Every structure is written in structure tokens, then in C-alpha cells.
Structure 1
Amino acid sequence: MNYFPDRQHVRLRSLALGTYLHAAADGIEVRLHPDRASVNAAWTVHRYQSENAVMYLLLHSAAFGRYLSANNTRAPWGQRGYRVEQREFDEPEVDSIMWQVIRPGNFVLLRHFSGRLLRANGGRLFNWNRGVTVDKFENRGAMNRWVVEPIPPSQLYPGLPGPINEPLSSPQFTCLLFGREPPPVRVIRFQRANADGTFNDNEDGWSEFPFTGNSSYRLRYELTVRLDIVHFIMCVRAGRYARLTPMLANLPSGTGDNLYIVAFRSLSPGADELRYPDMEAV
């Protein structure tokens, strides 16, 4: 676990393929991608001690805050083992997001709570298959080997993506007619953190409003009006027991009906404690 200090940002690179573990834009899938500068390649370390006093590694996406998980669903055709996905940390202890680190050399193996190992799929020549799965420990080989690349922190908040073109006013049948996905409609539940970074975790501590689309830029505008503050940083909470993640990407396109946002006033003591990955660092 020495390669995974708590709250450190890291990349995981397949030793066999040279590609990186990416949180897909839908907030659900996990895949391999060569882009190391994308925030989707950054994962935040969450060291977690179980009820049995065993230390586990949890990894949540720096893009969406959702946790790296595995389940018992067979992987899609062409991939080996079982599905790996992003999910919320919504119960006090979630076995599917718990991992342990095995370090046999200049790489690590990540063993899931189920005993299976995290596995890259595909090949250098045939890269159409970019899936990530878990497979039986006894099947371990080159595709289970991962290189941990620490990401240095950014001294400043990197900011949000700019505006995006979304068909917000188009009826659903129009989107389908022209082959476009209709924009998601979700409930934004939000509150402003105290100066020290604490916030009200009870159900009555949240306000809410409906929001259409995936633009974090537009979401920030909506919150500016409702919070009556201009300079603030949005953090997403992906499940009641998840750690807060500063928002650095657009909203995931395929997740749920609710999104929880905690706003930190810029330059407050709580905001000063937030950490961001420097994705441009070599």
C-alpha cells in the first residue's frame, strides 16, 4: 500500500499495453485509453479499514467521484472474466469497491475483494477491445500488471470545461430521429459548505432543483444564482459514504437521477484543503 498514499492522485498504466485505466464519460464503464493527460485517467486514493480491521484500497475517479468496482456479471464478448464498472459508495461497507495491492516487482497486481485480479483486455495491434475486467487469480499474467504513476498536485483549481452544445430544448422523439441521445434530466441536490469544509449530511440539509443536460459550466451558473455567491468550487459526492471530489469534468451521461453537490467558497479554509491533480505534469 506504500504506492498508494491516502488522497494521492494516481494513474494506472497497463504494463503490457501502455494504455491507462479510464473512467468512461457515462460514469459507469471503465476502459483503457492512451490519453494520460485526461482527468478521466486520474484516480484518487481512499484507504479504507474494514469492519474486520483489514486495510483496503479504494479508488474514486477524479472526473466523477465514482468508485472503481467489480461485480459477478460476465464480461462482454471478447473480454475475459467479469465486469469492472464505476459505482457509488452508498453503504457503510461495499465489498465491490474494495481492493488489495500485491507488488511482485516493478508493477502491482490489484486483487478485488472477490479474489479476482484487475485485468486489461485487448492488444497493441487490435485496440478495438479496450475493456477492463477482473479474472481468476490462477489466470494471472502480463495483462494483470499495472504501473502506478503518482500525479503531482496542482497548486490552483484547474477549473471546469467550457460550454458544450446540447440539444436541451429538443423533444425526445426529435433526438431519436436524428440519432442523438436525449439529454438526461436529473435532480441536483446541493448545499454550501461551512468555512471549515464541514456540511450538513442529513436529508434536510440539501436543497434541490431539476437540471437537464451534462454541462458542468451551466450547472455552475445555476448554482451561482441559487447560492448567491460567485467564487466557489463545486464538489460531487458519489454516495453517502464517498469522499468529496472537486468537479473537473462535465457531468456523467449515464448515471442515476440525483447528483449531490457541495459548494466551497473560494479561499475559505475548507477550499484550501481540496486537492487537484496536475494533469499536465510530466
Structure 2
Amino acid sequence: MEFFNKAKAVKLRSHLGKYLVADADQEKVRQSRNGSTQKTKWIVELVEGKTHFIRLKSIHGRYLTATDVPFLLGMTGEKVAHADFDKGLDWKYEWEPIRDGFHVKLRSWCGKYLRANGGTPPWRNSITHDDPHATSTRNWILWELEPVELPARTDSYEESVLSSRSSGDISGSEPPSPMSVSSVNSSMRTSISRISSNEFRLGMDLFHNAKAVRLRSHSHRDKYLLADEDEESVIQDRNGSSKNVRWIVEYVPGYDNIIRLKSSYGKYLTASNQPFLLGMTGRKVLQTLPSRLDSSVEWEPIRVGAQLKLKTRYGNFLRANGGLPPWRNSVTHDIPQRTATQDWILWDVDVVEIHVSSSVQKPTPPPMPHSDSLNFESDTPSAVLTKPAKFSRQEQSTDSNVGSPPKMEGRTIYYHIAEDNGEVDDEGVQGYSLIFKGNGVEELTSKFKEETGLEDVIVCTRSPLNGKLYPLRLQLPPNNVTMHVILVLPSSKLARDFEEQGLL
């Protein structure tokens, strides 16, 4: 909330990389990839008497409004409008910012969240306020904030500012002046550090006094995070005595809940945007030395019992993969979709070197009641521990389970939704996904109805011979390999073509 106290105007970017836009000629708000237009700028107004709420005003002088009108009859989600201010309904214009990692959620008056929808029309590019019910839509309520300078003083903007001043919505007697992006970015980093929750502080507790650590996969008990000799790749390896499993801990100025990890080659653990495999979830984790240290090299420790998760600015987690090559021993950042892979993002921390100088600036963690927390002696003779400190309970590992992947429960199915003419938007990038345990197409179709909220769909696959879409028949392939499918609506032109060809 402190960021909004300082920022005069922002852009909000959704998980789809699209911006929240307010058009002058209509009441609706939508998403757009064009982030350079003035329509993407929203003026921040503080709500008088409510320290944790804001209003967002477009450059046209209208407010982002959470209505109680259903977006589609019989479906979840209410419309979000772009409306003039009405004092009798002032609560509909109020939003509560809730931080979620590097992102923010905006909660409306009824406890729902501002949501950027994807999929086929009329959902595509629409904005509603809703609660995400499906796993594949939980990121749809996360927004990335971009501080911007205030728009130029057009007549409509000047009128809106004077109106808000007269109503007492913005504190101060002087008109707002433009703020530089750099100054707002600085204040944003400071404010984020101040509002850290106990959950994040507990994660930092595992790095208390740490100068260097080893990270051991909790799911693959004998494998460590290792900086490969090619000085680019990051993998898992059983050799815990190698210098390449040692990572230097750097505390990020302005944060008390973010760290950087530097390899033995002087490069940083980096969450890249490169897909690990085309069409699959999971992005590459590399060791890089960028000219400017940005958020791709910053990790947020989140404690889970005696282990931790390392979260990226994108909301993904550092993940140790198992299974067959090329997944075996690989490291990606991702969100686990299956129960069997939930532990793949958990890591045990072994502190191998500590800071003994009290002058080193580092976060001060709260006292921990856990019996497995360390208490470093002030008279430690050496900064290097002769025996790494374990933050996890010891578990026995037998030769029978070394390197064996967890049992797979069902298969992952990635899907896109086709346009009316059969074209698929962004088919080359990672689609939505679900876990399916059956083998029948009818059962899979019902699962997609439940997951997407669409009344009916035709599950199709693309022919490897000619690239055309064809409906799936009675049974899926007999094994549990990952599948990629396209959903086609029965009312579409492509569905009518299927009927004419006798494919339905």
C-alpha cells in the first residue's frame, strides 16, 4: 500500500503481458498489448479515512468500478466498468491492494479480485472481478505494477484532478507534479520491503548470517543445485563436496525478503524467459552476469516447515526436475500442477559459511520457536563451518530409491482454445494445462467443461502429417505421456466443417 501512497500514476500489466485499458467511448475496460497509449495510465487516488484502499481513475476522469452485474448469465465473474463517480456508490470504486510476491492483487468491495481473462471470445481480453476456481486461472488475478509519469494536462485530465481535489480524495493542496520513473521505482522497492509478511521473514530466517549455502532438493534427497562447468547451465548433482554447489548469498538493498545467489564462477542464479522445452511449462534457470542486476536474478525465500521455496518475480518457483531425460537433473522455474510434483519446489538449506562480522548489513529475523533453527556463537573461530548446518530432519535413503522419479498420477494435458476459423492465438507459447487420469475422450471433454466454464467443447489434436485439426476419437493414447490439444467450440465454423466431413 505504501507504493500507492507515493505513486501518482501506474500501469497494470496482467499475466498475459497485456495492459489494463480504459477507452473514452465506452464503459468497458479491457486488455491490450499496446502499453504505450495514454489509455493504460491510471491515476492513483487515496480513499479518505481508509488507509488500505485506493481508487483508480483513467485519464478520461472515470473510475475503475466493480459492479454486481454478471459478465455472462450463469457464469462466475461480475463486470468491471469504467464509470463516473457517484458518492452514493463510492464503495464500488474502492480497491484493496494485496501484495503477492512481486505482484499485486486488487480486491473489490465484495471480496473478489480484479481478473484478466484469457481464452476464446467473449472472455478474451475481458476484465471481471472474480475468485479463481481452477488451478490454471489462479495467476489471472495477479498484476504487475509499472510506475509512470502523470499524463499531459489535457482538458479532461485537468478537470478530473480538480474534481478529485475538491472532493478531498487526494491529500495536499498543490496539484500533483510528474514523478520520475526512477524515483517511483526506488520508493516501490522500499515500500515492498516494509510490508513483508511473516511468511517471507521466516524464509529469510534460513539465511540468517549466511555467507554461502548449498541448496539440496527435498524431493531428490541426494542432489544439490550445481553451477555447471559451462558457466551457463544450472543442474542437479550428487557431489555435495564440489565447489560448484556453493552459492554466495547477497542481500538486495532496499529489501529484507529478497536475495541473490552467486555461483563459484561469479555469475547469478537467473530465472530466464526461455522455455525449457517448446510447448511445455517451465522456464530455464541459468547462471548469468547481466550488465544491470534486475529482478531476474532476485529470489524470494518462502519457508514451508523446515524447507523453503524460492520464488521469482513472475510467481514461479525454483524447481528440481526428475523423470527421464531431458527432464532428469534439470532445474527450471515453474508452478507445479500435479500433486506428485508439489515437493519438487522445496529445498533444504545447508549453510556452509557464515558472516562473523556484526558490521555486515543483513535482515534481522524474528525469533523462531522451531527446534531446527541455528544459534551461531559470537566467538566462532572461523567463518567456515566444518560441518554444514542442516535445516531439515535427517532421512534415510536407500539405493533402491536413488534417482527414481515420483510416481506419476495421470497425465498433463496442455490446451489452447481455437478461434471461430480454427486459428489458435499464441499456439507457439505455453498454453493452459490440467491433470487428467482417465483415457476416454468423453471423460476428458467433461473435465474441460468443468475447467474452462464453457458449455461444450470439441477436443481436437493437430495432425503431424498436414498440420490440420481433427477431433479426438474414443480413447486417448494408452500411456500417460504429456498431450497437447486444441479446444473447438461447437458453434464455430471449424465445427461445421467437421460435421460436413463426417468427423463428428
Are 2:231 and 1:235 equivalent residues in the alignment?
no
Aligned counterpart, 2:271: none
- The higher-RCO structure (CA 8 Å, 6+ apart) is 1
Aligned counterpart, 2:11: 11
**8 Å CA contact 1:89, 1:238 repeated in 2:** no
Aligned counterpart, 2:118: 122
Are 2:40 and 1:41 equivalent residues in the alignment?
yes
1:194-205 mapped onto 2 (5 Å cutoff):
none
Q: Calculate the aligned-residue CA RMSD, in Å.
A: 3.6
Q: Percent identity?
A: 29
Aligned counterpart, 1:148: 145
Where structure 1 has 5 or more consecutive residues not aligned to the other structure, the ranges are 161-215, 217-232, 245-269
**8 Å CA contact 2:30, 2:126 repeated in 1:** yes
Determine the C-alpha separation between the residues in 1 that align with 2:176 and 2:55.
Answer: 18
Aligned counterpart, 2:300: none
Letter in 2 for 1:136: D
CA-CA distance at 1:122 after TM superposition:
1.6
**8 Å CA contact 1:79, 1:133 repeated in 2:** no
**8 Å CA contact 1:10, 1:148 repeated in 2:** yes
Aligned counterpart, 1:69: 65
CA-CA distance at 1:36 after TM superposition:
1.1
Aligned counterpart, 1:226: none
Change (3 A) 1:158 1:118: same
Determine the C-alpha separation between the residues in 1 that align with 2:26 and 2:122.
Answer: 22
Aligned counterpart, 1:131: 126
Structure with larger Rg: 2
Determine the C-alpha separation between the residues in 2 that align with 1:116 and 1:242.
Answer: 27
1:85-234 mapped onto 2 (5 Å cutoff):
85-91=81-87, 94-123=90-119, 129-136=124-131, 141-153=138-150, 157=152, 234=158
Where structure 2 has 5 or more consecutive residues not aligned to the other structure, the ranges are 182-504
Change (3 A) 1:29 1:118: same
**8 Å CA contact 1:100, 1:110 repeated in 2:** yes
Change (3 A) 1:82 1:107: same
**8 Å CA contact 1:71, 1:83 repeated in 2:** yes
Determine the C-alpha separation between the residues in 1 that align with 2:37 and 2:74.
Answer: 26
Determine the C-alpha separation between the residues in 1 that align with 2:19 and 2:75.
Answer: 17
Change (3 A) 1:278 1:96: same
TM-score (norm: length of structure 2): 0.31
Aligned counterpart, 1:252: none
**8 Å CA contact 1:66, 1:238 repeated in 2:** no
Determine the C-alpha separation between the residues in 2 that align with 1:19 and 1:77.
Answer: 26
Letter in 2 for 1:129: R
Are 2:179 and 1:273 equivalent residues in the alignment?
no
CA-CA distance at 1:38 after TM superposition:
1.0
Change (3 A) 1:276 1:104: same
Letter in 2 for 1:45: V
Are 2:79 and 1:83 equivalent residues in the alignment?
yes
Change (3 A) 1:89 1:141: same
TM-score (norm: length of structure 1): 0.52
Determine the C-alpha separation between the residues in 2 that align with 1:22 and 1:90.
Answer: 21
How many positions carry a matched residue from both structures?
175
Determine the C-alpha separation between the residues in 2 that align with 1:28 and 1:276.
Answer: 27
Letter in 1 for 2:53: Y
CA-CA distance at 1:158 after TM superposition:
5.8
CA-CA distance at 1:42 after TM superposition:
0.4
Q: Which moved more, 1:129-138 or 1:141-150?
A: 129-138
More helix by proportion, 1 or 2? 2
Summarize deviations over 1:223-262 as a string: whole Å, max 9, x none: xxxxxxxxxx952467884869xxxxxxxxxxxxxxxxxx
Determine the C-alpha separation between the residues in 2 that align with 1:25 and 1:78.
Answer: 29
Summarize deviations over 1:24-72 as a string: whole Å, max 9, x none: 222411100111111110001111134xx5531111112x111111111
Letter in 2 for 1:42: K
Determine the C-alpha separation between the residues in 2 that align with 1:46 and 1:67.
Answer: 10
Determine the C-alpha separation between the residues in 2 that align with 1:48 and 1:84.
Answer: 19
Change (3 A) 1:79 1:274: farther
Aligned counterpart, 1:198: none
Q: Secondary structure, in 3 states, of the residue corresponding to 2:140?
A: helix
Q: Secondary structure, in 3 states, of the residue corresponding to 2:39?
A: helix
Determine the C-alpha separation between the residues in 2 that align with 1:107 and 1:33.
Answer: 19
Determine the C-alpha separation between the residues in 2 that align with 1:132 and 1:65.
Answer: 19
CA-CA distance at 1:117 after TM superposition:
0.6
**8 Å CA contact 1:6, 1:47 repeated in 2:** no
Letter in 2 for 1:87: A
